[in-house]
Amino acid sequence: MVSVTTRRDSTKRLSSLSASGHSGWAQHGEDVVCAAVSAIVQAAWLGLREVAHVAVDARTREGTLDLRWDAQTGGEATQAIVETAEIAIEHLARQYPDHVRLVRETDSQAP
């Protein structure tokens, strides 16, 4: 299963996104569900860097991509990009509940 975790900061703005695992929907190289999640997350990363001009702390390793950014930079463009990615993952999780999981977290300091 692919697990995607989004985290909101104390102001309720998205500040990180992490995707890990493999969906298991099909064999490696033919798994369109895994490819869809990967494309969404990588598009968000590119959008943050190239459109919103936000510094992104990105860490990659086999089957995992972790993205963190300052949610207060980049203005509305930053949130539009990451909110769109979160919604797209949410729809995939509904369509493929045995293969994609979305976990939403909030900093414990949030009001």
pLDDT per residue as tens digits for the range 25-70: 887 778 899 999 999 999 999 999 999 999 999 999 988 999 999 9
What pLDDT does 23 receive? Answer: 87
Query: Would you place residue 93 in the very low, low, confident or very high pLDDT band (cuts 50, 70, 90)?
Result: very high
Q: Which residue has the tokens 């900061």?
A: 9
Give strand pairing partners of 36.
Answer: none
| CA–CA separation, 63 and 21 (whole Å) | 5
Strand partners, 101: 3
C-alpha triplet 106, 108, 111: angle, nearest 5°: 85
What structural domains does the chain harbor?
Answer: 2-106 (3.30.70.1490)
- What pTM value is reported for the model? 0.89
